[in-house]
Amino acid sequence: MADVDHFKRINDTYGHPAGDEVLRQMARLLTQKLRSIDKAVRYGGEELLVVLPETDLAEAGNVAERFRRTVEEHVFMVDPEDDEPPIPLRLTASVGVAGLPENADSLERLVELADRALYDAKNRGRNRVVAAAVRAVGPSA
């Protein structure tokens, strides 16, 4: 699960159409990094949810880090609400990663853990990838 850092500031400063444009550009950047079997969707306000079938937690973390770095290096062009010229913005993203079966045993739990890891990334200072802790399995779990 990925989220634009300080997204509210974009909407408040440049308007909601500019925020929507940032999300469209972010989605394009993300889908360029995905395989044809992967799926990316808008989830909630400014969060993007990505499903990477046949991908273990470590590789999902690598995909997330490549995406995070791409966002950090990209110049987002947005049109303010008035008739000013487009404005270049440098943005960052926070990403939470969780895996099935490494972390969760259901899709609902998987999304919950990815969301929790995303907020952990934000609480640790943003512009980072955080993976959910691998759950213990076996008789003592």
Residue positions annotated with a catalytic role: 46
CA 71-118-33 angle, 5° bins: 35
| DSSP SS3 for 33 | coil
Label each residue of 63-130 as H, E or C.
HHHHHHHHHHHCEEEECCCCCCCCEEEECCEEEEECCCCCCCCCHHHHHHHHHHHHHHHHHCCCCCEE
Rounded CA gap, 91 and 63, in Å?
18
* DSSP states along 49-60: EEE-TT--HHHH
